[in-house]
Amino acid sequence: ERVKLLLQNQAEMLRRGALMRPYRGIADAFARVLREEGAAALWRGNQANVIRYFPTQACNFAFKGYFKSFFGYDKEKDGKWKWLAGNVACGSAAGATTSSLLYHLDYARTRLATDAIESRANKRQFRGLLDVYKKTLATDGIRGLYRGFSVSIVGITLYRGLYFGIYDTMKPIVLVGPLEGNFLASFALGWTITTFSGACAYPFDTLRRRMMLTSGQPFKYRSAFHAVKQIVSTEGFFTLFRGVGANILSGMAGAGVLAGYDQLQRFAGQHDYKIENKMKGALK
């Protein structure tokens, strides 16, 4: 994950002197981090990610269930397209709500992960997680912790909408017959959808992280439109997809979450069914 963030944001790091020369790819980024900072540095920023990850997953699934009471449609009764739109809306609303609560942790993780020793000063900007908050609040206030938030909502809405919407739509079509309840089949479907969703939303992720890195800096993007105009005009459109290969590899975790969630639902459903049958038998 750190390698992905370094590749994704290297142009911004180069511009402000936080990196001396660009990375040539995933292997080069790995090698340089190991050589310059040591193996433990591959997990720099992971503390914020761990703190953020579990509440994010819990909130996403909880809010998804909540919003399903508003947007949940029956495929047979309401029609295929209304059902699909409802799945996408549930995923989008859940992702946007979760992001509004936990965005500052993602900001802190990004700043720590892109804080390389290989800079003009040859030292780190931040000593740790609390130092990120302290320095950002001192220079930019609360706004600094939420820089790029608006474009993040667009990206997370698109990603979660596709992630949950397509999965919930394809699951009853693909995971049937011998594949029903199969963890590997569920994982493969989840990884395919995670990869597709991540690639579609990746430019928005790049924009928000590039905006994050301007907190505490003299130069700041005035808006998401200003950011995309500046970045694309000077670096080209495909710079928005830097690091997408590493993102696809890390998408295995997202696929595992989907597959594991399905297995838990299946187990819980079977367990409830057995308890219900036992209760019925006891009442006879």
Q: How many CA atoms lie within 13 A of 168 on its CB side?
A: 25
14 has pLDDT over 80: yes
Supply 255's token pair: 């696929």
Nearest by Cα to 222 from 207, 239, 203:
207
218 has pLDDT over 80: yes
CA distance 34 to 13: 18
Look at residue 113 in the predicted model and tell me its pLDDT: 95
Mean pLDDT of 39-51: 91
**DSSP one-letter code for 148:** T
What global pTM score does this model have? 0.79
Q: What is the CATH number of the domain that holds 174?
A: 1.50.40.10
pLDDT in tens, 178-197: 888 778 888 888 888 889 99
**Percent of the chain residues topping a pLDDT of 90:** 44
Look at residue 91 in the predicted model and tell me its pLDDT: 76
Least confident of 110-114, 121-125, 131-135: 121-125
Q: Tell me, yes or no, whether 247 lies in a domain.
A: no
Q: How far is CA 205 from CA 134, 188, 250, in A?
A: 24, 24, 15
Q: Tell me, yes or no, whether 139 lies in a domain.
A: yes
Look at residue 278 in the predicted model and tell me its pLDDT: 41
Look at residue 270 in the predicted model and tell me its pLDDT: 64
* Stronger pLDDT, 118 or 240, i.e. the higher one: 240
Residue with tokens 């991540």: 198
CA distance 151 to 273: 44
Range with top average pLDDT, 111-120, 160-169, 184-193, 215-224: 215-224
Q: Tell me, yes or no, whether 204 lies in a domain.
A: yes
47 has pLDDT over 60: yes
Handedness of CA 180, 181, 184, 187 (dihedral sign): positive
* Stronger pLDDT, 271 or 186, i.e. the higher one: 186
Q: Tell me, yes or no, whether 62 lies in a domain.
A: yes
The whole-chain average pLDDT of the chain stands at 85
Q: Tell me, yes or no, whether 180 lies in a domain.
A: yes
Supply 236's token pair: 């080209």
CB 246 within 8 A of CB 7: yes
How many independent structural domains does the chain possess?
A: 1
Q: Tell me, yes or no, whether 257 lies in a domain.
A: no
Domain span at 89: 1-242
Q: Tell me, yes or no, whether 264 lies in a domain.
A: no
**Percent of the chain residues topping a pLDDT of 70:** 92
Q: Tell me, yes or no, whether 47 lies in a domain.
A: yes
